Amino acid sequence: YGVILFLALSMMAKSGWSAYVDGLKPFILVLPVIFFAVYRPTFFPPMMVLALGLVMDLFIGVPFGLSPLVALIIYFILSRLLTQLLDFPPVFLVGLAVVPITAAEMLRWLGVSLLSAEVQPLLPAFFAAAWSCAIYFCLALVFHAVLRLISAR
């Protein structure tokens, strides 16, 4: 959990509404949520998602509670689809992660737009989703290695 928290905090150098909208900020919290919701839901329980999301909101400057709300929505959708998702090969699941990552970023964009009472530019949200996908593909390898180490014990 410490590594995930460190990654989340290190990716958020700025704070405030304009930093979210103007900056290229990947939604780092949703990456381990997507991975562990499919492969090992007990390793990353909903309360951990909530706690890390609230800490993330404090540092990133978006409305308090928005990140964990979005991450929990994605978590519960993926956990409900768990039996169907496990039939796919792991390589396909890494590619399939593009859908929930993009959905999470669009939900976060919608939340910021609604709470700020003005439509925020959509292009930074798409770039943040693309950046999150690129990071996810690298982190998925690390997460698989962590699961192998845990399973070996």
pLDDT at 4: 56
Confidence of residue 55 (pLDDT cuts 50, 70, 90): confident
Please give the C-alpha separations between residue 51 and each of 14, 126, 139, in angstroms, as whole numbers: 20, 26, 21
pLDDT digits (tens, 9 = 90+) for 62-74: 788 888 999 999 9
pTM: 0.74
pLDDT at 15: 45
Q: Is the pLDDT of residue 46 over 80?
A: yes
The per-residue DSSP string of 80-146 comes to HTHHHHTTS-HHHHHHHTHHHHHHHHHHHHHHHHHHHTSPPPSHHHHHHHHHHHHHHHHHHHHHHHH
